[in-house]
Amino acid sequence: MDLVEKSLEVIINNQSKSGAFIASPSFDTYAFSWLRDGSFIANSLDQYKKYDEAEKFYRWVNDVINRYSDKVNVIEDKISRGERISRKDYLNARFTLEGFEEKKEGWGNFQLDGYGTWLWAVSEHIKLTGKTELIDEFHNSINAALKYIKLLAFYPNYDIWEENYDKIHTSTLACLYGGVKAINDYLKKDEVTKLANQIKTYILTNCVEDEHFVKFIGTKEIDSSLLWLAIPFNVVDVSDDIFKNTVKKIEDDLFVDNGMHRYKKDTYYGGGEWILLSAWMGLYYKKVNETEKAEAVEKWIEKCATEEGYLPEQVCLHPNDETYYPKWVDMWGEIASPLLWSHAMYLILKSK
């Protein structure tokens, strides 16, 4: 089975008419479209010149942001008056496939990462297609996203795993910097340059402990998503000493037999190895010309595919705590498979 072709098929077949990508078609909890996941999924299609399908997603997000952009003005007004911002004021991290807020109680919807990731993905799409007219077409949504980021970039919010709502997360800040910096290649606005510089300075000043980047401010722990600082968001270069120290810790603490854990204390489905994060390690190895290691990661991912050619969210070959696996199965069912983000990151890895 050609897993590249199968991955493209899985993604395209699970794009709704609206343009949204369902996170996983077989996992009820993931029957929504996340801005973050979807932006990486659309970017994977861009790598294979599936530009129309990718752009459908970018346009879907444009419509979603425009639909709810009044919230950004409410937040701005509340901040100026020193009033408390409530949960209902924030823009959501995930939406129904039709582009509306979902109202499930208890879900960590205040996540900023998706708005930065969308700005970055749109910028990459323009770079590949030359469609600079999208900057004008998306004028309102781009400005709303930038204002939202400017207002809340340094507020505690849920991380990329929908956890730790009371922390400020390094990988979230990386998403914001990457998006702001990338879109300003086309906007060329001084105030946007200033915002990008503020975020980068904040990361370098506050998100380093013991000569390595940390999962969130106030800890010395790491997270494999710290790879995003260099790939793809370019906060630092892969040659940066602090980043190299971080990669070494990730390799030592989280990377086992070519499979990548999220973080040491992860117990979601036992805390197994995530396909998409393993692909990120492969991208790093390709970037630093460690070809054999990158190839080993590719082969490991391919071995994780099911008989149908589906890539799951994670596999539990070396779980952090296997006693948690049946607890999650009882609560939500078996691990999500296929996960479109897993397929997307495999495609991106193979394209480089």
Q: Considering the entire predicted model, what is its pTM?
A: 0.98
Please name the CATH architecture into which domain 3-351 falls.
Alpha/alpha barrel (1.50)
Alpha-carbon separation of residue 59 from 110, 138, 250 (angstroms) = 22, 8, 36
Q: Which of 76, 89, 101, 162 is catalytic?
A: 162
Predicted confidence (pLDDT) per residue in 239-296, tens digit: 999 999 999 999 999 999 999 999 999 999 999 999 999 999 999 999 999 999 999 9
Pick the catalytic residue: 159, 223, 266, 273?
A: 159
Question: Is there a catalytic annotation at residue 162?
Answer: yes
Question: pLDDT tens digits for the chain (352 residues)?
Answer: 899 999 999 999 999 999 999 999 999 999 999 999 999 999 999 999 999 999 999 999 999 999 999 999 999 999 999 999 998 999 999 999 999 998 776 677 899 999 999 999 999 999 999 999 999 999 999 999 999 999 999 999 999 999 999 999 999 999 999 999 999 999 999 999 999 999 999 999 999 999 999 999 999 999 999 999 999 999 999 999 999 999 999 999 999 999 999 999 999 999 999 999 999 999 999 999 999 999 999 999 999 999 999 999 999 999 999 999 999 999 999 999 999 999 999 999 999 9
Residue 313 known to be catalytic: yes
